[in-house]
Amino acid sequence: MQIILGVIFHFIGGFASGSFYIPFRKVKVWAWESYWIIGG
């Protein structure tokens, strides 16, 4: 049961981190700290 729960949490985390990247073409004029915080 714990293995299945771990796999599910990893899937959710991977989906969330892959879904919320900002388009870096539009933030080239930002300071690197700003898009590092937003992208993280």
User: What's the pLDDT tens digit per position in 3-38?
Assistant: 999 999 999 988 887 776 666 677 778 887 877 777
- DSSP, res 33: H
Which two structure tokens, joined as six digits, stand for 22?
A: 């900002």
The CA distance from 9 to 15, in Å, is 10
Residues 22, 40: contact at Cβ < 8 Å?
no
Q: Distance between CA atoms of 27 and 32, rounded to whole angstroms? A: 9
